[in-house]
Amino acid sequence: MYRIRQSQEFIYGYNPITTIDEKVKNTMMDFGILKMKKEQVEIDMESKERVYLLIEGEAKLEWEDKSVVINRNSCFDESPWTLHLPKNTKVKITALKDDTEFSVSKTFNDTIFESKLYTQKECVDEHRGKGTMKETSTRIVRTVFDYSNADYSNFVVGEVIDYPGKWSSYPPHHHPQPEVYHYRFNPKHGYGFCQLGEDVVMVKHNDTVKIVDELSHPQATAPGYAMYYIWVIRHIDGNPYIAPTFEPEHLWVIKEDAKIWPDK
């Protein structure tokens, strides 16, 4: 199944969602949610490339000779803090508030690169779709890093915030590199839809979708509910993700002179 339904709240500690050794719909990555109560400590020195993205809360990060306190009140209204580590680099995370949550992405990568904490100021809001398609696909995209500024990584990481009743990841596109979408909604009882090729799945708060098999994957949000999702793409050896392939029959909608009914 492409969709992984999270029917209960995450427990304190690490909650695995996908694993790097899965036999079905393999995304080539470990992906999960680290949920922490105040003063809880997590120490990691795994032999994998790792990305810790703060979804919400406050924590102290300690790695190498650095120590930084980070805080994020809302994943909808504020950009993320994201710590990117090469294999075998130790990190200590201490939660300073209850219900502090990180997304955690891990994959194999023998390249040794310099650890980096991406600050909120480095992840600016990009308003995609604005001025096109009668504003039906206007959304906020935050790219933490991609191949253009981190070609040593095996990941591309970012976030999307969908406005109520609108689309994202549109026009429909696909790519051979596997991807994970992890969703949050505001209010939490909201929902949206994820298209996977010719199939559609409903997504709810805390759900995750695995995007593999080069399926096109546009998204839609129910009216009244804002939808947030983390996206993590795993490069393929010798074939890194640079840009998607758009379905050509739908590209006309983004042209400046597109006539979209009702043309009034």
Residue with tokens 């969703």: 183
Do residues 187 and 36 touch, judged by C-beta distance below 8 A?
A: no
Bond before 171 cis per omega within 30 degrees: yes
In one letter, which amino acid is 150?
A
Please return the burial class of 93, using the count of CB atoms within 10 Å of its CB with bins 0-12, 13-18 and 19+. Answer: buried
Say what the pLDDT of residue 264 is: 65
DSSP class of residue 216 equals -
pLDDT 10s per residue in the chain (264 long)? 799 999 899 999 999 999 999 999 999 999 999 999 999 999 999 999 999 999 999 999 999 999 999 999 999 999 999 999 999 999 999 999 999 999 999 999 999 999 999 999 999 999 999 999 999 999 999 999 999 999 999 999 999 999 999 999 999 999 999 999 999 999 999 999 999 999 999 999 999 999 999 999 999 999 999 999 999 999 999 999 999 999 999 999 999 899 999 986
Bond before 80 cis per omega within 30 degrees: no
Token digits of residue 177: 């590199």
The neighbouring-strand residues paired with 173 are 246
CA 15 – CA 195 distance, rounded (Å): 25
Token digits of residue 1: 């199944």
Alpha carbon 238 to chain centroid, angstroms:
23
The neighbouring-strand residues paired with 43 are 92
CA 29 – CA 211 distance, rounded (Å): 12
DSSP class of residue 23 equals S
- Three-state secondary-structure class, residue 81: coil
Say what the pLDDT of residue 256 is: 87
CA 78 – CA 184 distance, rounded (Å): 14
Which domains, from first to last, does the chain contain? 3-236 (2.60.120.10)
In one letter, which amino acid is 190?
G
Say what the pLDDT of residue 184 is: 98
Residue 104's Cβ-side half-sphere holds a number of Cα atoms within 13 Å equal to 24
